[in-house]
Amino acid sequence: MLFALGMLALQAETSCVDAVFDALEDGRVHDVLELTAEPSGCIGEMERLTARTEAAWLSGDLPMSGDAAVGALDAYRLEGCAYHRNAAQLAFAAGLSLVSSDYQQGRYFFWVSHRVNDLARSLRPGQADLAEYYADEFGASINDDPYLFNSPYLGERRGPAMSCGRVPRIRLEERAPTDFAILWLEFRQNATGDIHGTRVNFAYPGPVPRSVIEGINDMEGYAGSNWFQDLVTLDPCMEPYRSDQPVTVCLPGHSPGRTDPDGEDG
């Protein structure tokens, strides 16, 4: 009797997990966000928050994706699955969502992403490079200590956990940006500080037109003649590097002072 009840419970949970991830597979991200809005006895927290991270990422809601990713990583830790292959991308989503508002915490999650990816190899090249960039020398400052206290990622690294429930592989795919974008750019400058070459190493939620990059090329950066890297936000426009610059770069369909693609004031 107990075995039969257990099998029924397992079948119910399997059905819930399949429903959520089938909806993701079909691109019904808003349905997934509704299905995963609250904890449920029908689906485990690892599965629920993994799906929610991906759905929010695909819908362009980076703060929601980051919040879900932080919760998912905690759920993985509680289940002894800290080094699951999904942890690298979950930590990447958390790091990207936080690094502009809480630099040290954002760096911590990029550090986690980099450490897990060294074993699991689940990040795409641009993601891996960005995680490694922000992870560099993390832990060397006393300001990093609160984030490392009791971290399951501190100490000897273990092989990625492969048997942690039925959690499908997370996929942080690209979508064309509409009114928000984050670009990790590598700039080349001349001796006067003018930018004369820009390489896009990562873009969220996806690539922007070359015209946007050319607009950034027209902006002046910092003095020097070497490459420098910067995480740039267009929301939907990018502010000039210096207050005396008239140039402002925006995503297609937007211009300074306009808040939506139709040009209506918000």
Domain ranges of the chain: 2-144, 181-250
**pLDDT tens-digit readout, 15-51:** 888 889 899 999 999 999 999 999 988 889 999 999 9
Mean pLDDT of 159-176: 77
The secondary structure of 235-247 as a DSSP string is: SSEE--SSTT---
Cα–Cα distances (Å) from 150 to 42, 74, 136, 147, 154, in that order, read 30, 12, 20, 8, 8
**What b/e sequence results for 246-263 when a residue is b if at least 16 CB atoms lie within 10 Å of its CB, and e otherwise?**
eebbbbeebeeebeeeee
SS3 label, residue 99: coil
Fold topology of 2-144: 1.25.40
Compute the distance between CA of residue 52 and CA of residue 54 in angstroms, rounded to an integer: 5
Using one digit for the tens of pLDDT, what is the confidence trace for 63-107? 999 999 999 999 999 988 999 999 999 999 999 999 999 999 999
Mean of all residue pLDDT scores within the chain: 83
Q: What pTM does this model have? A: 0.85
Burial class of residue 97 in the structure, from the number of CB atoms within 10 Å of its CB (0-12 exposed, 13-18 middle, 19+ buried): buried
